[in-house]
Amino acid sequence: MGNIKRRKGKMLFLVMGLVIGISTVVTLLSITESMTLNIEERLNQFGANIVMVPKSENLSLNYGGIDVGGINYQVQEFEQEKLADIRTIKNSKNLSIIAPKILGSVTVKDKIVLLIGVVFEEELALKTWWHKAAGTFAKKEDEIMLGSRAADLLGFNVGDTVLVSGKSFKLSAILRPTGTSEDDAVIASLGAAQTLLGKQGKLSMVEISAFCQGCPISEMTLQIAEKFPNAKVTAMKQAVMSKMQSIDMFKSFSLGVSIIVILIGSLLVMVTMMGSVNERTREIGIFRAIGFRRGHIMQIILLEALLLGIIGGILGFGLGNLIACSIIPIVIKDGGFAGINLSLGIISILMAVALSLLASLYPAFKASNMDPSQALRAL
């Protein structure tokens, strides 16, 4: 402590080197974490990246939304009670949203319309663009939503009472045009739709959204297929691959810059400690002359490095989070700071201490091997 007080300028310079190195690493990692969360959120807005439908022995007679078959085949369905088996697969931690559906045809104003039964909470989380619907998102069993084209053709407005196959529902929302089959459909709760179609406990398909930071998407589809032998499980790999590549790119960039900064910080610490040892030649010589062993001398140097490493790590972690919080709104439009990561804080302090100690080993070793007679002659 006395040496640190006597050499305030050099010690401050050393601490600043550690602070700059650690804060740079923390800033990059914090920005990467925030960007990763932002990328995941945006990519997951595209909806499901795994789709599970019943297997069929027949070829599809539909292209671009036009059905040319003219033949209705018997559609197989899943048992709803088996849906929980999806959560038991090996990579279940990568599963985010599981959205089951029942499909069928109903009659509205003497027109045959597609009915989609969904779990409202899961579907809204999966298809975030539904938030822009006119009206209030359906929540109750007696509420339905209409696709934009269905609402126009049938002449309904939000708040109207709609008879669906003879049963009354309140129209709570009209979806904006999506360019998909939802535009022509009636969307009801899963239970209400199953009752209307007479398919209690049955599911037509399941859409799954998976978080895939390096997850084996192909293996996940196989794992789900093993649980459902009669299902065709398809992975929309492009969305998942773009997510994984974006995340890996940011992590690789941060790792590369962090390594360079750590190397520069190590050299800075070593040069500063070497200068400190050279300046303390007489002091160290006196210590050796009055009986201090080599281990004692190394202990003095390394304890200084330990204390400065702890101070540099704490200050670097705080400064890094402050910089990241300021930069993220500029780097990521409408993005937010992921928050202070306490685990990263502990790692930062340990990294600063390790960096300081490793860079001080050679100066400490040199000081411990100093010849007392040479040091005393300097007096």
Domain spans, the chain: 2-40+244-377, 49-235
Mean pLDDT of the chain: 79
pLDDT at 41: 63
- Would you call 373 exposed, middle or buried from its count of C-beta atoms within 10 A (0-12, 13-18, 19+)? exposed
Comparison of pLDDT for 355 and 186, the residue scoring more: 186
With 0-12 / 13-18 / 19 or more C-beta atoms within 10 angstroms meaning exposed / middle / buried, residue 58 is: exposed
Section 52-75 average pLDDT: 59
Segment 260-285 mean pLDDT:
75
pLDDT at 246: 65
**The predicted structure's pLDDT at residue 355:** 80
Which residue did the predictor score with more confidence, 328 or 90?
90
- Contact at 8 Å (CB) between 117 and 225? no
Q: Inform me whether the pLDDT recorded for 170 exceeds 60.
A: yes
156 vs 248, which has greater pLDDT?
156
How sure is the predictor about 377, in pLDDT bands with cuts at 50, 70 and 90?
Answer: low
160: nearest Cα among 186, 196, 194, 121: 186
Q: Which pLDDT belongs to residue 70?
A: 46
Return the percentage of the chain with pLDDT > 70, whole number.
Answer: 79
Question: How would you class 246 by CB atoms within 10 Å of its CB: exposed for 0-12, middle for 13-18, buried for 19 or more?
Answer: middle
Rounded Cα distance, 122 and 87, in Å: 15
The pLDDT value given to residue 72 = 47
Residue 93 vs residues 44, 211, 220, 365: alpha-carbon distances, Å: 16, 8, 11, 49
Residue 261 · residue 25 · CB < 8 Å: yes
**Mean per-residue pLDDT for 233-259?**
70
**What pLDDT, on the 0 to 100 scale, is given for residue 378?**
53
Contact 24, 320 (CB under 8 A): yes
* pTM score of the predicted model: 0.53
CA–CA separation, 371 vs 280, rounded Å? 13
- What is the reported pLDDT for 225? 87
The arithmetic mean of pLDDT across residues 49-58, rounded, is 76
What pLDDT score does 145 carry? 92
Largest CA distance in the chain: 110
For residue 233, give both structure tokens. 């499980």
pLDDT at 163: 92
- Residues 6 or more apart whose Cβ sits within 8 Å of residue 151: 157, 171, 174
- 232-246, 255-269, 279-293: segment of lowest average pLDDT: 232-246
Span 254-283, average pLDDT: 76
pLDDT of residue 73: 46
